[in-house]
Amino acid sequence: MTALTLTNVCKSFGAVEVLKDINLTVEDGEFVVFVGPSGCGKSTLLRVIAGLEDATSGTVEIGGDVVNTIPPAKRGIAMVFQSYALYPHLTVRDNMALGLKQEKQPRSVIDERVNKAVSMLDLGAYVDRRPSDLSGGQRQRVAIGRAIVREPKLFLFDEPLSNLDAALRMNTRIEIAELHRTLSASMIYVTHDQTEAMTLADKIVVLRDGRVEQVGSPMELYNNPANQFVAGFLGSPAMNFLKKAPLTIPKGGALGIRPEHLRPAKGGRIKGTVTHVERLGGDTNLLVSTAEQEPLTVRIFGQDDTQVGAAIELDFNDTQSFAFDKSLQRVAI
């Protein structure tokens, strides 16, 4: 079964069109990530799915039913926000139980579901605390627990890790992936962070300026981007784009080469000077200015003793490069 189908969904705030003809499906059990720069419409799209905003036109189907006129509480969804949105005066247990109480579930069902979520999220030691006595990571786990106990048809996450520090972000990311495996639930996860998209998604939806740019698995999008925006958005360090390229490219277009596909090579087709070196320990990034004064990043696996100011010659496999025309569309090399 299909968990979610969006057909020709548009959303305007007054004269401002924020979502433009969105069509997509989420299959049962699929983990779908909406990724795109800040302001591209990710939260608005999630809120339209949740029923917190009405679509201006188009249909939203959840589990086969059109839900455009169904209120959020009756859509079978549960949402987790960046801000946690916990009740400060309620304990962890009561925060997690509140939605079920409002649904008038029997006490035994509430206790069973809350206990299960508490153990799944390792919150046993904190059930009687209030949110103010928890760390950011623990608060977010409570918010996730509150979603789990509802047993929704569809989980919606809006940038749930953005308020956490880098180490905690990675741990919580892994926990969310494990949770998805355990629950086999359908999930939509919104982020501006390409690493989260690449590491969590079965399917990535790249959004830009209210439109879907490309949909596919992380590796499909990485290896076969439809356009220069997707090519440049996924991958860190980002893909290099040369306007003065050693291959034939469309006039006004660019040649795209990922940093890991450039290698120092005597007599290589790209000549330049090293302007900066980032030694990450495991890898080394060389920042290079080409003879045509275009910036490039070269990713060297392992440690490397190249010094700033050194002359460098670089090459690449043509089959690992991408050509884009001046309207940013991908064209054959």
Provide the binding-site residues for Mg ion, judged by CB under 5 A. Answer: 43
Q: Smallest gap, in angstroms, from Cβ of residue 194 to Mg ion? A: 15
**CB 316, min distance to Mg ion, A:** 36
- CB-CB contact of 242 with 296 (8 Å): yes
Rounded CA-CA distance 221/246 in Å is 25
- How far is residue 241's CA from residue 231's CA, in Å, rounded to a whole number? 10
Query: What is the maximal distance between C-alpha atoms in the chain?
Result: 75
Region from 11-19, 90-98, 197-205, 281-289 binding ligand ADP, contact rule CB under 6 A: 11-19
Find which of Mg ion, ligand ADP, none residue 38 binds, CB within 5 to 8 Å per kind.
ligand ADP
Unique residue bearing structure tokens 């501006």:
192
- Residue 46 or 262: which CB sits closer to ligand ADP? 46
In the complex with ligand ADP, the residue whose CB is nearer, 210 or 253, is 210
Q: Closest approach of Cβ 330 to Mg ion, in Å? A: 28
Instruction: Please say which residue, 47 or 146, places its beta carbon nearer to ligand ADP.
Output: 47
Minimum distance between the CB of residue 189 and ligand ADP, rounded to whole angstroms? 12
The CB-of-20 to ligand ADP minimum distance in angstroms stands at 11
Phi and psi at residue 244, to the nearest 5°? -105, 95
Q: Which is nearer to ligand ADP, 30 or 159 (CB)?
A: 159
Nearest to 321 by CA among 276, 273, 271, 258: 258
Identify which of residues 38 and 248 has a Cβ nearer to ligand ADP in the complex.
Answer: 38
CA distance 169 to 157: 14
# of chain residues touching ligand ADP (CB under 6 A) = 11
Q: Among residue numbers 215 through 254, which ones bind ligand ADP (CB under 6 A)?
A: none
Which positions from 28 through 87 interact with ligand ADP, judged by CB under 6 A? 36, 38-44
Q: Which residues bind ligand ADP (CB under 6 A)?
A: 13, 16, 18, 36, 38-44
